[in-house]
A and B are shown apart, each in its own frame.
Chain A
Amino acid sequence: MKRTETQTPSHLQQGTCAVNIKVNGEEKTLYVQPWVSLLDGLRDHLNLTGTKKGCDHGQCGACTIICDDKRILSCLTLAVMKNGSEITTVEGIAHGEELHPIQQAFIDHDAFQCGYCTPGQLCSAIGLIKEGKANSREEVKELMSGNLCRCGANIGIIDAIMQVKDGGNNE
């Protein structure tokens, strides 16, 4: 997708939709054309560039965010579909300066190298822990398979999730 498509002052165009969403605790209104993905809405309209565009086709998981308590792919979601929703991106998971336990665990376990997949991995891990369906390491691996890491930090990522999951801090 070309960046210029969302850089025009779209609120002046016919067909523009007002999308009200709560992002990381703050009420926001996006004025976007229907074809703007939630990912582009967050990155280009709200300047929340923590969420990454990897494949833009739902194959890599880099764009994973938490929407109404569920981990979803923001690249395969239109912003207009989420009018009225509550969204958490990687920018919103820490409490001020205090890291979210999963962020600390990623540091403890060397769970990233280049870091490009990390925001998606973190949001996906938080979603996985909330869902409460992964009871074993094998199940954690299976339920994290939608997030690819080309650096090969997967073992550290699974270690980090196991630590937080078993530590019981599931926020």
Chain B
Amino acid sequence: MNNFEYRRASDTKDAINLIHQQEKSKFLAGGTNLIDLWKYNITNPTSLVDINHIAELSEIKALPDGGVRLGAGFKNADTAYHPIIEQQYPLLSKAILAGASAQIRNMASNGGNLLQRTRCYYFYDPEVPCNKRVPGSGCPAKLGYNRIHAILGTSEQCIAVFPSDMCIALAALDALVNVEGPEGKRTINFADFHRLPDDRPDLDNTLKPGELIISIDLPEKGFTTNYSYLKLRDRHSYAFALVSVATAMELDGDTIKDIRIALGGVAHKPWRSKEAEDFLIGKNASAENFSTAADLILKDAKGFGHNDFKIKLAKKAIIRNGLMALNPDTQLPGAKPSA
């Protein structure tokens, strides 16, 4: 564990300038993941740029097109309990409240949630090899204890999963990520923000060096009638998902007009299948159809031994959550299965 310099940024330009003055600088928002990783000697920043006092990042506001802009520095709890989010994006509110603990949600920022690192045990243990932590060193998880690991989109190099709940809802809602860096501003589709491990598992996302997340835009369509977030884990609360599912539906009678299904706990990024969603459009919202869709989503799923159970669990979760989305009011707090 190393000491570091600490500087408070006054605005986004200041933050982006400060981050460039030292090679191993990191932006500091809630700190809930960064400080933990630093204590475990997984990350060793020489300088932290505190972005907690930048007004632009702390906003939440309605957009002219009917959508909503979430500031990257806005806290997870404040987002989940904000009247606009509760009313217009209840799926997002539920997903956020399924993650971490009340204390951590009070601290953690929206931008930081997108940048969470995996909770793979081997990544978190500096004594063992890990291609994500030390590129080229190897992956002990594939032949080791891999109960929490990925079943979709894995590579020879890495089978880690992305741990966020919030991001599974953001993926389902087709959010946009607005970033700013030394080369200017750009907007990234949520589906393109996180990446699969391939041969660069050290890269979790497509941010360029020095880029700062400014905000997250939610499109107008919030799926306020039929939605559900289901999180399955080893204990009832305050644990990472083994499998989670965000389902958002628009129905015309019993017929599905539009549907989004995003999975968490199964891959290096939130997982969606256009093929499965396209299959469901125009069909009844029935267990049978959700089952066929689940088979499409999971057709390339591959277990590594201890995590084989996730394939069957994911299928059941997709079906269950599709049916739960028909009656969002029956959900218990913390994204548990409905009774």
Find A35's partner among B1, B333, B334 (CB 8 Å cutoff): B1
Set of chain A residues within 8 Å of B35, measured between Cβ atoms: 37, 76-78
How far, in angstroms, from A78 to B5 measured CA to CA in the complex?
12
Q: Which of B80-115 contact A (CB under 8 A)?
A: 81, 100-104, 106-107
Say whether B63 faces chain A, with CB atoms less than 8 Å apart. Answer: no
The answer to whether A1 and B1 touch (CB under 8 A), given A58-B104, A77-B31, A146-B103, is: yes
B332 at interface by CB-CB < 8 Å: yes
Q: A15-B3, A133-B81 are in contact. Are A143 and B102 (CB under 8 A)?
A: yes
**Which residues of A have CB within 8 Å of B81?**
131, 133
Interface residues on A, range: 35 or more
Q: What is the bound-complex CA distance between A33 and B3, given in angstroms?
A: 8
A112 to B30: give the CA distance in the assembly, Å: 30
Q: Would you call A51 an interface residue if the criterion is a C-beta within 8 Å of the partner chain's C-beta atoms?
A: no
B309 at the interface (CB under 8 A from A): no
Name the residue of chain A whose CB is nearest to the CB of B335.
A142
Q: Which residues of A contact B307 (CB under 8 A)?
A: none
Contact between B101 and A145, CB atoms less than 8 A apart:
yes
Check A80/B104 contact, CB under 8 A, given A35-B1, A57-B39, A138-B333: no
A48 to B: closest C-beta gap in Å: 18
Query: Taking A127-B102, A131-B102, A143-B102 as contacts, is the C-beta distance between A56 and B39 under 8 angstroms?
Result: yes
Q: Select B50's contact among A81, A124, A142, A143, beta carbons within 8 Å.
A: A81
Q: Which of B4-45 contact A (CB under 8 A)?
A: 4-6, 28, 31-32, 35-36, 39-40
Is A34 in contact with B5, judged by CB distance below 8 angstroms?
yes
Interface size class of B (residues with CB under 8 A): 20 to 34
Task: Say whether A100 faces chain B, with CB atoms less than 8 Å apart.
Answer: no
Q: Cβ of A119 < 8 Å from any Cβ of B?
A: no
Selected from A34, A131, A141, A145, the residue in CB contact (under 8 A) with B48 is: A34
In the complex, what's the smallest C-beta–C-beta distance from B28 to chain A, in angstroms? 7
Residues in A whose Cβ lies below 8 Å from that of B28: 78, 81
- Interface residue? A22 (CB, 8 A): no
B238 touches A15 (CB 8 A): no
- Say which one of A23-31, A67-75, A162-170 lies at the interface with B: A67-75
Contacts of A147 in B (CB 8 A): 101
Q: Quick check: B36 and A146 within 8 Å, CB to CB?
A: no
Determine if B106 and A71 form an interchain contact, defined as CB atoms under 8 angstroms apart.
yes
Q: Are A73 and B3 in contact (CB under 8 A)?
A: no
Further pairs besides A35-B1, A71-B103, A124-B103: 7, Cβ < 8 Å? A33-B3, A34-B4, A35-B4, A73-B107, A76-B31, A144-B102, A146-B103
Binding site for A on B (CB under 8 A): 1-6, 28, 31-32, 35-36, 39-40, 48, 50, 52, 77, 81, 100-104, 106-107, 236-238, 332-334
- Residues of A participating in the B interface, judged by any CB pair closer than 8 Å: 1, 15, 17, 33-35, 37, 56-58, 61, 64, 70-73, 76-78, 80-81, 124, 127-128, 131, 133, 136, 138-139, 141-147
Q: List 15 A-B contacts (CB under 8 A).
A: A34-B48, A35-B2, A57-B39, A71-B103, A72-B107, A73-B104, A76-B36, A78-B6, A124-B103, A131-B77, A141-B237, A142-B333, A144-B102, A145-B101, A146-B104
